[in-house]
Amino acid sequence: MLEKIAQIIEEKLGLDGVEITEKTRFKEDLNADSLDLFDLVMEFEDEFGTEIPSEDLEGITTVGALLDYIEKKAG
């Protein structure tokens, strides 16, 4: 799951050779703004077939938090 998420993040944000772990922070480490996050979430929705309301985005600041969120949703 982390691998898949990392791959999408790399693609969407145009990153190359950046190590993405559960601790990676979207804003501080990846320079992603709120629109980037929204963009990523739409991609994850398609990939994992789950709906992520925009309100829930607020609390998701790290890759790990996103992973947990999607696992909970999908589970």
Partner 1 sequence: MSNYDLKDKVALVTGAGRGIGKQIAIQLAQCGAKVIVNYCGSKEAADEVVDIITSSGGIAESLQCDVSDFIETKNMIEKITDKYEKVDILVNNAGVTRDNLMIKMSEDDFDLVVTTNLKGAFNTIRHLYRNFIKLRAGKIINISSVSGVMGNAGQANYSASKAGMIGLTKSLARELASRNICVNAIAPGFVETDMTKKLSGSAMEGAMQMIPLKRFGRPEDIADMVTFLASEKADYITGQVICVDGGMSI
Distance CA 23, CA 32 (A): 15
Q: Is 33 one of the annotated active-site residues of the chain?
A: yes
Write out the residues near partner 1 by the rule CB under 8 A: 33, 35, 38-39, 42
The nearest distance, CB 31 to partner 1, in angstroms, is 12
Catalytic site residue from 29, 33, 39, 68: 33
From 45, 39, 53, select the one nearest 74 (Cα to Cα).
Answer: 45
Tokens of 25: 């922070």
CB of 10 to partner 1, least distance (A): 17
Nearest residue (CB) to partner 1, 17 versus 35:
35
Return the closest-CA partner of residue 65 out of 11, 3, 2: 2
Active site residues per annotation: 33
